[in-house]
Amino acid sequence: MIYRIIQKRRLFLSLSTLAVALSVLALFVWGLNFGIDFTGGSSLEVQFKNYQPTITEISDSLKGANLHNLVIQPTSDSYILKFKEISEEVHQTVVKDLQALTLKHQGATFKEMQFDSVGPSIGTELKSKSFNATAICFIMIILYISFAFRKVSKPVASWKFGVAAIIALIHDILFTLGVFAVLGHFYGVEINTPFIAAVLTVLGYSVSDTIIVFDRIRENLPKSQEDFENTVNRSVNQTLTRSINTSFSAILALLAVLFFGGSTIKDFALALIVGIFVGTYSSIFVASPVLVVWDRIVRGQKNN
Protein backbone atom coordinates (compact mmCIF):
# COMPACT_ATOMS: atom_id res chain seq x y z
CA MET A 1 0.00 0.00 0.00
CA ILE A 2 1.31 3.42 -0.98
CA TYR A 3 0.44 6.27 1.37
CA ARG A 4 -0.07 9.67 -0.26
CA ILE A 5 2.28 11.48 2.11
CA ILE A 6 3.83 13.95 -0.30
CA GLN A 7 0.47 14.67 -1.94
CA LYS A 8 -0.81 15.75 1.49
CA ARG A 9 2.25 17.89 2.15
CA ARG A 10 0.20 21.04 2.79
CA LEU A 11 -1.42 19.39 5.80
CA PHE A 12 1.85 18.13 7.29
CA LEU A 13 3.77 21.33 6.60
CA SER A 14 0.91 23.36 8.09
CA LEU A 15 1.00 21.25 11.26
CA SER A 16 4.77 21.70 11.46
CA THR A 17 4.48 25.45 10.93
CA LEU A 18 1.87 25.68 13.68
CA ALA A 19 4.00 23.61 16.06
CA VAL A 20 7.07 25.75 15.39
CA ALA A 21 5.06 28.97 15.79
CA LEU A 22 3.70 27.80 19.17
CA SER A 23 7.22 26.76 20.22
CA VAL A 24 8.65 30.16 19.33
CA LEU A 25 5.77 31.81 21.20
CA ALA A 26 6.49 29.70 24.29
CA LEU A 27 10.17 30.62 24.09
CA PHE A 28 9.31 34.30 23.71
CA VAL A 29 6.75 34.38 26.54
CA TRP A 30 8.30 32.01 29.08
CA GLY A 31 11.84 31.40 27.87
CA LEU A 32 13.98 28.50 29.00
CA ASN A 33 14.54 27.71 32.66
CA PHE A 34 18.35 27.68 32.68
CA GLY A 35 20.04 25.74 35.46
CA ILE A 36 23.15 26.62 37.40
CA ASP A 37 25.41 25.56 34.52
CA PHE A 38 24.21 28.67 32.69
CA THR A 39 23.04 31.10 35.37
CA GLY A 40 25.62 30.40 38.04
CA GLY A 41 25.05 28.65 41.37
CA SER A 42 26.26 25.86 43.59
CA SER A 43 26.10 22.09 43.51
CA LEU A 44 26.65 19.93 46.59
CA GLU A 45 26.86 16.13 46.51
CA VAL A 46 26.51 14.32 49.83
CA GLN A 47 26.34 10.69 50.92
CA PHE A 48 24.54 9.05 53.84
CA LYS A 49 25.41 5.57 55.09
CA ASN A 50 23.29 3.27 57.27
CA TYR A 51 20.45 5.77 56.93
CA GLN A 52 18.79 7.33 53.90
CA PRO A 53 16.76 10.47 54.63
CA THR A 54 13.85 11.38 52.41
CA ILE A 55 13.90 14.38 50.11
CA THR A 56 11.37 16.08 52.40
CA GLU A 57 13.61 15.55 55.44
CA ILE A 58 16.59 17.05 53.62
CA SER A 59 14.53 20.01 52.42
CA ASP A 60 13.10 20.68 55.89
CA SER A 61 16.55 20.51 57.50
CA LEU A 62 17.83 23.24 55.16
CA LYS A 63 15.01 25.74 55.61
CA GLY A 64 17.11 27.78 58.02
CA ALA A 65 19.86 28.22 55.40
CA ASN A 66 17.49 30.15 53.10
CA LEU A 67 18.72 28.44 49.95
CA HIS A 68 17.15 29.79 46.78
CA ASN A 69 15.91 27.49 43.97
CA LEU A 70 16.85 24.36 45.90
CA VAL A 71 16.70 21.19 43.83
CA ILE A 72 17.40 17.79 45.43
CA GLN A 73 18.30 14.92 43.10
CA PRO A 74 18.81 11.45 44.60
CA THR A 75 21.27 9.11 42.85
CA SER A 76 22.01 5.45 43.47
CA ASP A 77 24.20 6.18 46.52
CA SER A 78 24.11 9.93 47.14
CA TYR A 79 22.15 13.15 46.88
CA ILE A 80 22.93 16.11 44.64
CA LEU A 81 21.71 19.47 45.90
CA LYS A 82 21.57 22.46 43.55
CA PHE A 83 20.84 26.04 44.55
CA LYS A 84 21.87 29.64 43.92
CA GLU A 85 25.50 30.50 44.60
CA ILE A 86 26.31 30.75 48.32
CA SER A 87 29.20 31.91 50.47
CA GLU A 88 31.57 29.53 52.24
CA GLU A 89 29.91 30.37 55.54
CA VAL A 90 26.50 29.28 54.25
CA HIS A 91 28.14 26.21 52.70
CA GLN A 92 29.42 25.10 56.09
CA THR A 93 26.02 25.75 57.64
CA VAL A 94 24.37 23.52 55.02
CA VAL A 95 26.88 20.73 55.73
CA LYS A 96 26.22 20.94 59.49
CA ASP A 97 22.44 20.89 58.98
CA LEU A 98 22.70 17.79 56.79
CA GLN A 99 25.07 16.09 59.21
CA ALA A 100 22.57 16.72 62.00
CA LEU A 101 20.15 14.33 60.25
CA THR A 102 22.39 11.39 61.21
CA LEU A 103 22.55 12.21 64.94
CA LYS A 104 19.18 10.61 65.63
CA HIS A 105 20.16 7.34 64.00
CA GLN A 106 22.81 5.13 65.58
CA GLY A 107 25.58 4.07 63.19
CA ALA A 108 24.52 6.58 60.52
CA THR A 109 27.30 8.60 58.92
CA PHE A 110 27.46 11.62 56.64
CA LYS A 111 30.05 12.53 54.02
CA GLU A 112 30.42 15.57 51.77
CA MET A 113 31.60 14.22 48.43
CA GLN A 114 31.81 17.30 46.21
CA PHE A 115 31.01 21.01 46.23
CA ASP A 116 31.17 23.10 43.06
CA SER A 117 30.42 26.71 42.27
CA VAL A 118 29.56 27.85 38.76
CA GLY A 119 29.89 31.57 38.13
CA PRO A 120 27.82 33.54 35.59
CA SER A 121 30.89 33.99 33.38
CA ILE A 122 31.14 30.22 32.93
CA GLY A 123 27.45 30.11 32.16
CA THR A 124 27.87 32.71 29.44
CA GLU A 125 30.79 30.77 27.98
CA LEU A 126 28.72 27.57 27.93
CA LYS A 127 25.90 29.35 26.08
CA SER A 128 28.34 30.68 23.49
CA LYS A 129 30.02 27.31 22.97
CA SER A 130 26.65 25.55 22.69
CA PHE A 131 25.54 27.98 19.98
CA ASN A 132 28.86 27.63 18.13
CA ALA A 133 28.70 23.83 18.29
CA THR A 134 25.20 23.86 16.80
CA ALA A 135 26.18 26.31 14.04
CA ILE A 136 29.24 24.23 13.10
CA CYS A 137 27.05 21.12 13.09
CA PHE A 138 24.67 22.76 10.59
CA ILE A 139 27.49 23.81 8.26
CA MET A 140 29.10 20.37 8.30
CA ILE A 141 25.76 18.70 7.57
CA ILE A 142 25.18 20.87 4.48
CA LEU A 143 28.72 20.21 3.24
CA TYR A 144 28.46 16.47 3.85
CA ILE A 145 25.09 16.05 2.15
CA SER A 146 26.17 18.25 -0.76
CA PHE A 147 29.22 16.02 -1.26
CA ALA A 148 27.33 12.74 -0.78
CA PHE A 149 24.63 13.78 -3.27
CA ARG A 150 26.99 15.54 -5.68
CA LYS A 151 25.93 13.28 -8.58
CA VAL A 152 22.31 14.36 -8.19
CA SER A 153 21.69 17.43 -10.32
CA LYS A 154 18.13 17.00 -11.58
CA PRO A 155 15.50 18.02 -10.80
CA VAL A 156 17.03 19.54 -7.64
CA ALA A 157 20.68 20.35 -7.00
CA SER A 158 22.63 18.37 -4.38
CA TRP A 159 23.00 21.34 -2.02
CA LYS A 160 19.22 21.65 -1.83
CA PHE A 161 19.10 18.26 -0.12
CA GLY A 162 21.39 19.72 2.53
CA VAL A 163 19.26 22.83 2.99
CA ALA A 164 16.09 20.71 3.24
CA ALA A 165 17.76 18.63 5.96
CA ILE A 166 18.73 21.80 7.86
CA ILE A 167 15.15 23.10 7.66
CA ALA A 168 13.99 19.82 9.20
CA LEU A 169 16.66 20.11 11.92
CA ILE A 170 15.66 23.68 12.77
CA HIS A 171 12.09 22.42 13.02
CA ASP A 172 13.25 19.70 15.43
CA ILE A 173 15.31 22.05 17.62
CA LEU A 174 12.62 24.74 17.89
CA PHE A 175 9.96 22.17 18.75
CA THR A 176 12.17 20.55 21.41
CA LEU A 177 13.07 23.95 22.90
CA GLY A 178 9.40 24.92 22.89
CA VAL A 179 8.43 21.77 24.77
CA PHE A 180 11.10 22.45 27.40
CA ALA A 181 10.00 26.08 27.68
CA VAL A 182 6.54 24.78 28.62
CA LEU A 183 7.97 22.13 30.98
CA GLY A 184 10.27 24.70 32.56
CA HIS A 185 7.44 27.15 33.17
CA PHE A 186 4.90 24.69 34.59
CA TYR A 187 7.09 21.94 36.07
CA GLY A 188 10.42 23.64 36.76
CA VAL A 189 12.45 21.50 34.33
CA GLU A 190 15.89 23.07 33.95
CA ILE A 191 18.21 23.41 30.98
CA ASN A 192 21.75 22.29 31.77
CA THR A 193 24.70 20.90 29.81
CA PRO A 194 23.17 17.37 29.52
CA PHE A 195 20.30 18.98 27.60
CA ILE A 196 22.76 20.46 25.09
CA ALA A 197 24.32 17.02 24.67
CA ALA A 198 20.84 15.60 24.08
CA VAL A 199 20.05 18.24 21.43
CA LEU A 200 23.29 17.52 19.57
CA THR A 201 22.51 13.80 19.76
CA VAL A 202 19.07 14.47 18.31
CA LEU A 203 20.67 16.46 15.48
CA GLY A 204 22.79 13.48 14.53
CA TYR A 205 19.90 11.02 14.85
CA SER A 206 17.50 13.20 12.88
CA VAL A 207 19.87 13.95 10.01
CA SER A 208 20.77 10.25 9.81
CA ASP A 209 17.10 9.38 9.42
CA THR A 210 16.65 12.13 6.83
CA ILE A 211 19.66 10.94 4.82
CA ILE A 212 18.17 7.43 4.68
CA VAL A 213 15.08 8.87 2.98
CA PHE A 214 17.14 11.12 0.70
CA ASP A 215 19.39 8.23 -0.28
CA ARG A 216 16.38 6.20 -1.38
CA ILE A 217 15.21 9.19 -3.46
CA ARG A 218 18.66 9.36 -5.07
CA GLU A 219 18.52 5.65 -5.91
CA ASN A 220 15.02 5.86 -7.40
CA LEU A 221 15.47 9.02 -9.47
CA PRO A 222 17.50 7.53 -12.38
CA LYS A 223 15.22 4.50 -12.87
CA SER A 224 11.83 6.03 -12.03
CA GLN A 225 9.25 6.57 -14.77
CA GLU A 226 7.20 8.83 -12.49
CA ASP A 227 7.51 12.56 -11.93
CA PHE A 228 9.57 13.94 -9.04
CA GLU A 229 6.63 14.22 -6.65
CA ASN A 230 5.56 10.60 -7.02
CA THR A 231 9.16 9.37 -6.97
CA VAL A 232 9.71 11.12 -3.65
CA ASN A 233 6.44 9.76 -2.30
CA ARG A 234 7.38 6.19 -3.26
CA SER A 235 10.82 6.62 -1.68
CA VAL A 236 9.31 7.89 1.57
CA ASN A 237 6.93 4.92 1.67
CA GLN A 238 9.82 2.50 1.13
CA THR A 239 11.65 3.84 4.19
CA LEU A 240 8.59 4.55 6.34
CA THR A 241 8.49 1.24 8.23
CA ARG A 242 12.22 1.29 8.87
CA SER A 243 12.14 4.83 10.26
CA ILE A 244 9.19 4.21 12.57
CA ASN A 245 10.50 0.88 13.89
CA THR A 246 13.98 2.26 14.59
CA SER A 247 12.64 5.32 16.39
CA PHE A 248 10.07 3.30 18.34
CA SER A 249 12.77 0.93 19.60
CA ALA A 250 14.97 3.84 20.69
CA ILE A 251 12.07 5.58 22.44
CA LEU A 252 11.14 2.39 24.33
CA ALA A 253 14.67 2.17 25.72
CA LEU A 254 14.63 5.86 26.65
CA LEU A 255 11.27 5.49 28.38
CA ALA A 256 12.83 2.82 30.58
CA VAL A 257 15.63 5.27 31.45
CA LEU A 258 13.10 8.04 32.08
CA PHE A 259 10.95 6.06 34.50
CA PHE A 260 13.51 3.77 36.12
CA GLY A 261 16.81 5.64 35.74
CA GLY A 262 18.35 8.12 38.13
CA SER A 263 16.90 11.60 38.42
CA THR A 264 20.14 13.13 37.15
CA ILE A 265 19.57 11.74 33.64
CA LYS A 266 15.78 12.01 33.41
CA ASP A 267 15.85 15.40 31.71
CA PHE A 268 18.46 14.09 29.28
CA ALA A 269 16.27 11.09 28.45
CA LEU A 270 13.18 13.28 28.09
CA ALA A 271 14.97 15.59 25.65
CA LEU A 272 16.02 12.59 23.56
CA ILE A 273 12.49 11.18 23.54
CA VAL A 274 10.98 14.47 22.36
CA GLY A 275 13.80 15.05 19.85
CA ILE A 276 13.74 11.55 18.34
CA PHE A 277 9.95 11.64 18.04
CA VAL A 278 9.87 14.98 16.25
CA GLY A 279 13.01 14.08 14.27
CA THR A 280 11.30 11.00 12.85
CA TYR A 281 8.29 13.11 11.95
CA SER A 282 10.40 15.76 10.22
CA SER A 283 12.43 13.28 8.16
CA ILE A 284 9.21 11.92 6.69
CA PHE A 285 6.75 14.80 6.70
CA VAL A 286 9.00 17.89 6.48
CA ALA A 287 12.34 17.31 4.72
CA SER A 288 11.01 15.42 1.68
CA PRO A 289 7.95 17.66 1.15
CA VAL A 290 10.26 20.69 1.27
CA LEU A 291 12.20 19.26 -1.68
CA VAL A 292 8.99 18.82 -3.69
CA VAL A 293 7.74 22.33 -2.83
CA TRP A 294 11.13 23.77 -3.82
CA ASP A 295 11.06 21.90 -7.13
CA ARG A 296 7.54 23.15 -7.90
CA ILE A 297 8.52 26.74 -7.12
CA VAL A 298 11.58 26.56 -9.39
CA ARG A 299 9.63 24.97 -12.25
CA GLY A 300 6.88 27.55 -11.83
CA GLN A 301 9.39 30.38 -12.13
CA LYS A 302 10.93 28.83 -15.24
CA ASN A 303 7.52 28.46 -16.88
CA ASN A 304 6.76 32.08 -16.18
Domain co-membership, 68 together with 190:
no
Helix 120-148 with 158-187: angle, nearest 10 deg: 150
Name the percent of the chain lying above pLDDT 90. Answer: 36
Domain co-membership, 145 together with 64:
no
Give the residue-averaged pLDDT of 155-181: 88
The last residue of one of the domains, among 85, 102, 118, is 118
pLDDT surpassing 90 at residue 131:
no
The last residue of one of the domains, among 97, 118, 139, is 118
CATH number at residue 108: 3.30.70.3400
10 versus 63: the higher-pLDDT residue is 10
Task: Give the H or E element holding residue 118.
Answer: strand 109-118
pLDDT, the chain, mean: 86
Residue 181 and residue 32 in contact, taking contact as beta carbons nearer than 8 Å: yes
Q: What angle do CA 289, 295, 299 make, to 5 degrees?
A: 150
Task: Name the nearest CA neighbour of 15 among 29, 5, 26, 2.
Answer: 5
Task: Give the H or E element holding residue 230.
Answer: helix 228-260
The pLDDT, as a whole number, for residue 188 is 81
What are residue 109's phi and psi, to 5 degrees? -130, 160
Domain co-membership, 24 together with 47:
no
Domain co-membership, 146 together with 273:
yes
The pLDDT, as a whole number, for residue 241 is 92
Domain co-membership, 148 together with 201:
yes
In a domain, 79, yes or no: yes
Question: Distance between CA 263 and CA 80 in Å, rounded?
Answer: 10
The residue range of the domain holding 152 is 6-36+121-303
In a domain, 1, yes or no: no
The pLDDT, as a whole number, for residue 171 is 94
Give the residue-averaged pLDDT of 91-98: 90
The pLDDT, as a whole number, for residue 71 is 79
Q: Quick one: pLDDT band at residue 122, thresholds 50, 70, 90? A: low
**Most trustworthy range by pLDDT among 28-37, 129-138, 195-204, 235-244:** 235-244
How many structural domains is the chain composed of?
2
Q: Quick one: pLDDT band at residue 23, thresholds 50, 70, 90? A: very high
The pLDDT, as a whole number, for residue 304 is 42
Give the residue-averaged pLDDT of 185-205: 85
The pLDDT, as a whole number, for residue 121 is 60
Q: Quick one: pLDDT band at residue 87, thresholds 50, 70, 90? A: confident
Residue 165 and residue 287 in contact, taking contact as beta carbons nearer than 8 Å: yes
The last residue of one of the domains, among 118, 149, 180, is 118
What are the pLDDT digits (tens) for 208-249? 888 899 889 888 888 878 888 999 999 999 999 999 999 999
